[in-house]
Structures are given as structure tokens and as C-alpha cells.
């Protein structure tokens, strides 16, 4: 089994590029690198770094369409399987075992980001590993993997994890959000009823904490009744719920509770349901949802199935005057600083 790694590369990111390529040395049969033609910037060392790792470099003038660039990289792949990765990503774990009847696989991407000056990580499930020659990309921005014959092609989870630091700097995240939205609105002109495009537009507003506009586009996407089996729909529903809570609309957020039973296997959805119930003063039910979240190991945001869920149970018990019960839950949070402070407060 040979694996081709397909990359589209922005110039001037040699440090990230070197880290990415280093993580591929024991994985890739070949590295396909598509980048823009050389310019007059003498500080640009893109070609030199690629040469150090024996990457096959191809030039492609950037058109603002990510799918065009992705598909250009796929043209040159000769391996049995293709792994798609970006410059600001790197392989952390690669335990891939292909199956004869599976053509596409979902990997985990661990996104590092900052919120309220806290360094956080959330996991994202993406179709990034697939059998060569059977797929292409569609979509100007936030491109999607599509089977060439347009048939249903369910992706299977595989034990591959990549790290992603592209959102670690909040200012860079905001800049990318605004750039993506320009492309998404162009896509909306030709695909006004595409729930995925509407979701991604809402997501850019959510990143900028413009919750009113985010809610508008999330609701437009949900009105089109997207298939819950599609990988983005769980995130759509969850982000919509958080947007409503952040917009001080907890009663309206109850519409998210229990909508899709299939999402109840994910701690993120159960945790959100707990928050929604908590914000609607349905405290016993909220604790029940938080505890359900602790009983599953399928999660995206770290802590939703452990210390964050227990902490909220503690907050509820403390607010209800049950200090003993609160301390019991806070004690399950490990060394989570707010829980440690809460134990001291309840004990005192």
C-alpha cells in the first residue's frame, strides 16, 4: 500500500511547512506539493524546504478557489491512497489499516485555538484519506470531497490524528474568517439552497461573535433539512445552540434539545443539551445530560466528557445550596482551576 500526500502550499510559511513535512517522513510514498509560481521575494524558501523532503513540486496560479487547487494536486498523485494535509497541520498519529470495501476514511484533526485568553483544543472529523482516483473536490471555500460517480460513499473512521495550529492566533482566525466569507457569498450566488454553504457563512459570523447573523444563516441551513449523516450537520446544530445561548435566547435554544437521537452518542451534543437545560432552570435534567456526556469517549472539545461536565453539575448543586453535593462533583474535575477554587469556596 502506497500513500500519496497531496498539499496546496501558501508561500512564506516555511517553518510550518518544515514541521508538516517532517511528520510525513515515515508515511508518504510521495509528497505532491502545489504552490503558486515563484516571485521576486528572495526570503521565500518554499522550494528549498520542499527539495529537502524530496517533494514533487507543481505550480498553479491561485484563483481563489480551493477546490481547483486541491484537484490540481490530486492529478499528480500515483499512490493507492491519498492523504490531504495543509501546511499548518502535521501528523500526530498514523495507524491506518485499509479495508477492501471502504474507499474513504475520516481522520481526527485537533484544532488549537484561543478563547478568553485560554489555550484550547477541539477535535474535528474530516474526510481526508481516500482511495486514489475515485474522488474530487467541490466548493470554492471549505471544499468537500465528492465521489467521481456521485454515488453514496460513507466514510469510515480510522486511527489517524493530525494537529492544526492555523487558528491558534485569534487575529489570524478572524482574518481567515472574513476571507472565507467573501468566497462563500460568491458560492451562495450559484447555490442559494446549499445548507453547507449557509452553515459555513453562519460559522464565520460565529467566529467573530456576531451571533445574530450567525443564527440567521444557521436557521436558513436547518430549514433545508440537511441529512444528519453528513459530517457537518452535528457541528451545525451544536454551533446554532451555542449561538442562541450566547445571544441570550435560552428558551429558543430548547429547539436543539433531542432533535437528532443519533447525536446522543457524542459528548459535545449531550454537554450542549445540559447547558441548554441549565439555562432554562431545568436543573435535574441538566445534570442528567452532563452525566451522560461523561459516559462516552466520543467528543470534539476536550473536557466536555469529563471535568467541564462535572464542573457544571457542581455549579448547579452549589446554586441550589447543596455544598456537599457540589464538592462531590467539583472533586471529579481533577486539577481544573475553577473547580479547585469552588471547593475552597464551598468548604469555607
> Tens of pLDDT along 208-220?
999 999 999 999 9
Query: Are residues 19 and 162 located together in one domain of the fold?
Result: yes
Considering its fold, how many domains does the chain have in total?
3
CATH classification of the domain holding 278: 1.25.40.10
277 closest CA partner among 304, 294, 253, 302: 253
Query: Are residues 196 and 303 located together in one domain of the fold?
Result: no
Give, to the nearest 10 degrees, the angle between helix 307-319 and helix 337-347: 30
Q: What is the DSSP code string of 265-309?
A: GSHHHHHHHHHHHHHTT-HHHHHHHHHHHTT----SBTTTTTHHH
Query: pLDDT at position 162, please?
Result: 96
- The residue from 168, 189, 209 where one domain ends is 168
Query: Are residues 209 and 128 located together in one domain of the fold?
Result: no
Q: Average the pLDDT over 28-35 and give the result.
A: 95
Residue 116, domain extent: 3-168
Q: Hey, what's the cell of 128?
A: 481526508
* Alpha-carbon gap, residue 292 to 158, rounded angstroms: 25
Mean pLDDT score of the chain: 91
Compute the half-sphere exposure of residue 224: CA atoms within 13 Å on the CB side of its CA.
17
CATH classification of the domain holding 78: 3.90.550.10
Whether the predicted pLDDT of 130 surpasses 90: yes
Q: Is 56 exposed, middle or buried (0-12, 13-18, 19+ CB in 10 A)?
A: middle
Pairing of strands 81-84, 3-9: parallel
The three-class DSSP label of residue 258 is coil
Q: Hey, what's the cell of 335?
A: 486539577
Pairing of strands 118-131, 104-115: antiparallel
- The residue from 199, 223, 253 where one domain ends is 253
The three-class DSSP label of residue 14 is helix
Q: Average the pLDDT over 73-89 and give the result.
A: 97
* Residue 77 CB neighbour total at 10 angstroms: 23
Contacts of 108 (CB under 8 A, 6+ apart): 123, 124, 125, 160, 161, 162
Convert the pLDDT of each residue in 254-306 to its tens digit. 999 888 778 888 999 999 999 999 999 999 999 999 999 999 988 888 899 99
Query: Are residues 225 and 197 located together in one domain of the fold?
Result: yes
Query: Are residues 61 and 139 located together in one domain of the fold?
Result: yes
Query: Are residues 51 and 119 located together in one domain of the fold?
Result: yes
Query: Are residues 15 and 150 located together in one domain of the fold?
Result: yes
Query: Are residues 232 and 288 located together in one domain of the fold?
Result: no
Q: Percentage of the chain with pLDDT > 90?
A: 72
Whether the predicted pLDDT of 131 surpasses 80: yes
Which range, 11-15, 180-184, 321-325, has the best average confidence (pLDDT)? 321-325
Residue pair 197/184 in contact (Cβ under 8 Å)? The answer is yes
* CA-angle at 88, arms to 87 and 89, nearest 5°: 90
Pairing of strands 3-9, 30-35: parallel
Query: Are residues 161 and 184 located together in one domain of the fold?
Result: no
* Alpha-carbon gap, residue 100 to 158, rounded angstroms: 14
Query: Are residues 30 and 160 located together in one domain of the fold?
Result: yes
Distances (CA, A) of 286 to 84, 278, 307, 323: 40, 5, 15, 18
Whether the predicted pLDDT of 80 surpasses 70: yes
Query: Are residues 179 and 230 located together in one domain of the fold?
Result: yes
Whether the predicted pLDDT of 91 surpasses 70: yes
Query: pLDDT at position 214, please?
Result: 97
Whether the predicted pLDDT of 54 surpasses 90: yes
Convert the pLDDT of each residue in 61-70 to its tens digit. 988 889 999 9
Top-confidence residue, 47 or 152: 47
- The residue from 153, 168, 183 where one domain ends is 168
Q: Hey, what's the cell of 196?
A: 453547507
Residue pair 26/5 in contact (Cβ under 8 Å)? The answer is no
Band of residue 118 on the pLDDT scale cut at 50, 70, 90:
low
Amino acid at each position: 500500500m502506497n500513500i500519496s500526500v497531496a498539499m496546496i502550499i501558501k508561500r512564506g510559511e516555511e517553518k510550518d511547512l518544515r514541521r508538516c513535512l517532517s511528520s510525513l517522513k515515515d508515511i508518504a510514498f510521495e509528497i505532491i506539493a502545489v504552490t503558486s509560481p515563484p516571485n521576486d521575494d528572495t526570503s521565500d524558501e518554499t522550494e528549498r524546504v520542499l527539495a529537502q523532503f524530496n517533494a514533487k513540486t507543481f505550480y498553479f496560479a491561485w484563483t481563489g478557489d480551493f477546490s481547483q487547487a486541491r484537484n490540481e494536486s490530486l492529478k499528480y498523485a500515483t499512490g493507492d491512497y491519498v492523504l490531504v494535509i495543509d501546511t499548518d497541520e502535521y501528523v500526530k498519529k498514523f495507524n491506518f489499516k485499509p479495508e477492501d470495501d471502504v474507499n474513504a476514511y475520516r481522520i481526527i484533526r485537533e484544532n488549537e485555538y484561543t478563547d478568553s485568553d485560554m489555550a484550547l483544543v477541539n477535535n474535528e472529523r474530516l474526510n481526508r484519506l481516500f482511495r486514489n482516483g475515485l474522488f474530487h473536490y467541490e466548493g470554492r471555500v471549505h471544499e468537500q470531497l465528492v465521489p467521481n460517480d456521485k454515488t453514496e460513499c460513507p466514510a469510515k473512521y480510522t486511527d489517524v490524528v493530525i494537529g492544526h495550529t492555523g487558528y491558534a492566533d485569534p487575529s489570524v482566525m478572524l482574518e481567515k474568517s472574513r476571507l472565507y466569507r467573501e468566497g462563500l457569498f460568491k458560492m451562495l450566488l450559484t447555490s442559494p439552497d446549499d445548507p453547507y454553504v449557509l452553515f459555513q457563512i453562519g460559522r464565520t459570523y460565529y467566529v467573530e461573535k456576531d451571533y445574530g447573523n450567525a443564527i440567521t444563516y444557521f436557521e436558513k441551513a436547518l430549514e433545508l433539512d440537511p441529512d444528519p449523516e453528513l459530517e457537518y450537520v452535528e457541528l451545525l446544530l451544536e454551533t446554532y445552540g451555542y449561538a442562541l445561548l450566547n445571544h441570550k435566547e435560552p428558551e429558543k435554544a430548547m429547539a436543539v434539545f433531542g432533535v437528532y437521537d443519533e447525536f446522543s452518542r457524542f459528548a459535545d451534543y449531550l454537554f450542549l443539551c445540559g447547558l441548554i437545560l441549565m439555562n432554562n432552570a431545568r436543573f435535574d435534567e441538566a445534570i442528567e445530560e452532563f452525566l451522560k456526556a461523561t459516559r462516552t469517549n466520543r467528543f470534539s472539545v476536550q473536557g466536555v466528557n469529563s471535568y467541564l461536565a462535572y464542573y457544571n453539575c457542581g455549579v448547579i448543586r452549589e446554586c441550589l445550596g447543596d455544598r456537599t453535593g457540589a464538592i462531590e462533583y467539583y472533586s471529579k474535575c481533577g486539577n481544573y482551576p475553577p473547580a479547585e477554587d469552588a471547593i475552597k469556596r464551598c468548604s469555607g
